[in-house]
Amino acid sequence: MIRSLYSGVSGMKNHQIRMDVVGNNIANVNTTGYKSGRVNFEDTLYQTIRSGDESKNAAQVGTGMSVSGITNDFTTGPSQSTGRTLDLAIDGNGMFVLQNDKGERFLSRDGIFYLTEDNRLVNSNGLRVCDNKGEEIRINVTPTPGSNGTAGKYEFAIDSTGFADGDTITIDGVQFTAVNNVLNDNEFKISNDSTKTILENFKITLENLKSAIEGNADLKDKYSVNTDNFDPGVQGVYAYKFTGNFEAGDSITIDGEEFVATGNTPPGDHEFTTDASLDNAIANLASALSASGLFDNYVFTPSAGTLTITQNVGDPVAPTVDFEDKDTTTPINIDRVETPPPTIGVAPEAKITLSQQSGYYSSLRPTVQSGAVTGGVTTITPGESPVPPGSSKITSIIIDEQGKIYVNGSSTPADIGGGESIGIAMFNNFEGLERVGENLYRETPSSGEELSNYTDMTTLNADCKINSCYLEMSNVNLTDEFTNMITTQRGYQASARTITVSDTMLEELLNLKR
């Protein structure tokens, strides 16, 4: 009778323990990295009433039950995306290794970590995360050296046509206007000195533009200006060979202007006098062309059977020369001399150089807009903006699946101390680890010693990897826990009923004396 009372007591006490574990599981259903527990029961000592032999079985009465152990379920919980780099989830086996100021080591599946002021990686309670060599992680950031930048040098060309009154040139948004008479700021004078050549006036105009740029408040400290790089161009030279001789009525047309051979002396407008000598006729033609005032761009030079046309100002377009033989009695032919080849004219060109000054070094090229500018802006020396020295602070951080840490946009793993990656501890028996609260575990003889530290996380890839921006959720299954709660409650009730029935039977026994 007494045995049943104590069996009921053991059932109530141990079902209460099971209920405590179920309640703790439910309470931690949203705890990061929590591993659910399960109570295992076993029967206890038996009292033998009758021993067994070859003809009968033994008769034994049990004395209740006890807790044989509480198992921790180390299956991986579901992952929750957080978008935070320092939220880490282990996919597979393994534990994060943490250490306090006293050097005591702990283990955890809770991957919520933070960076301290001195770049240490710690958990919510300030325990320091260890690397794969078992040393505390401290990210060492070497500041990048700064630079003073590089002066950029840029060039743009202006051809010999130069500027007409009212033309503009805009540099970095600042507009300058070419005028015959300067009246306002950001204007520059066009040189039209009749005592100077076209090229001399062109150079003076460019010097006036240089002065306007260097005198502008927005540009004077930004650029120095050079206009000395001046290409005078190449005069075009074209020779035409004549055979036969001119007769009255023959004509030659240059750039659309027709000149007719005549026997009259002096010749009329658009006429030249023939002569028994071809050389004299060519000389008369050259004189008529020069005197006409129609060809300011050309110089006509007669020679033995040849008329040479030289362009005064470089021009890449050759003159057009045609002729018509009116009388075939003495036929005449004209051919352009190709040996030696004619000299093709090249227009004069000035190249203006803008050089960045100290304090305005930049990788941005200047913008220049003008109808007088040919070919756009070319780079002679690319400018580089000054770069301040880098900070020793971490501005960005990435953690890959192997636990290697990259900071401040670098493609090289950061120096974290003695190891190469975040440490992952492995055990032969994870269920033997001891819970110590705050999502921490401790190594025990049951779990065995931590396996050798891994020098590279690649050796663990078959078993686990680290997922940054994720957290491992609790692996508690509420369906299982509520079912366990029901069966625990019924077990507790049945054990309690055993005690009440046993008490009633004892009461009947005591009433026999009456």
Q: What is the pLDDT of residues 282-323, one digit of tens each?
A: 999 999 999 998 988 889 999 999 999 998 765 678 899 998
**What count of other Cβ atoms lies within 10 Å of the Cβ of residue 417?**
16
How many CA atoms lie within 13 Å of 308's alpha carbon, on the beta-carbon side?
Answer: 14
Q: How far apart are CA 280 and CA 70, in angstroms?
A: 129
The total of other beta-carbon atoms located within 10 Å of residue 461's CB is: 12
| Phi and psi, residue 358, nearest 5° | -55, 135
> Of the candidates 231, 165, 218, which has an alpha carbon nearest to the alpha carbon of residue 366?
218
8 A C-beta contact, residue 249 and residue 261: yes
Q: Which helix (H) or strand (E) holds 487?
A: helix 478-510
Q: pLDDT below 50 — which residues of the chain?
A: 454-462
CA distance 467 to 401: 6
The answer to whether the beta carbons of residues 388 and 147 sit under 8 Å apart is no
Q: Which tokens belong to 40?
A: 């295992």
- Quote the tokens at residue 464: 């686990």
Per-residue model confidence (pLDDT) at position 393: 82
Separation of alpha carbons 428 and 448, rounded Å: 7
Length in residues, the chain? 514
DSSP at 494: H
> Do 302 and 279 form a contact (C-beta atoms < 8 A)?
yes
Q: How far apart are CA 75 and CA 430, in angstroms?
A: 10
Give yes or no for a cis peptide into 266 (omega within 30° of 0). Answer: yes
Q: Is 391 exposed, middle or buried (0-12, 13-18, 19+ CB in 10 A)?
A: exposed
- Choose among 144, 78, 63: nearest CA to 472: 78
pLDDT in the model for residue 458: 45
Q: Residue 236: is it exposed, middle or buried by C-beta count within 10 angstroms (0-12/13-18/19+)?
A: buried
The CA distance from 72 to 427, in Å, is: 14
- What is the Cα–Cα distance from 216 to 226, expressed in whole angstroms? 15
| Rg of the chain on CA atoms, in Å | 52
DSSP, collapsed to helix, strand or coil, labels residue 427 as coil
List strand residue ranges (DSSP E) for 152-236, in order.
153-159, 168-171, 174-179, 187-189, 223-231
What residue ranges in 160-290 does DSSP mark as E strands? 168-171, 174-179, 187-189, 223-231, 237-243, 251-254, 257-262, 271-273
pLDDT at 283: 95
- pLDDT score at 454: 47
Contact between 224 and 235 under an 8 Å Cβ cutoff? The reply is no
pLDDT at 328: 66
Query: What is the predicted pLDDT for the residue at 160?
Result: 67
Residue 182 is predicted with a pLDDT of 84
Predicted confidence at residue 512, as pLDDT, reads 86
In 3D space, the residue among 452, 456, 474, 473 whose CA is nearest the CA of residue 465 turns out to be 456
DSSP state of 81: E
> Which residues share a beta bridge with 128?
99, 122
403 to 130, 268, 363, 423: CA distances (angstroms): 11, 99, 38, 8
Please tell me whether residue 122 adopts helix, strand or coil conformation: strand
- Which strand (E) or helix (H) includes residue 478? helix 478-510
Residue type, 340: P
**The tokens 């377009």 sit on which residue?**
317
Q: The pTM is what?
A: 0.52
The residue with tokens 């040919």 is: 374
Closest CA to 404 of 418, 421, 416, 417: 421
Beta bridge partners of 307: 240, 302
Tokens of residue 111, six digits: 């991957």
User: What are the tokens at 59?
Assistant: 């008769």
Distance, in Å, from the CA atom of 321 to the CA atom of 334, rounded to the nearest integer, reads 9
In this prediction, residue 493 carries a pLDDT of 93
Question: Three-state DSSP class for 40?
Answer: strand
Distance CA 38, CA 475 (A): 12
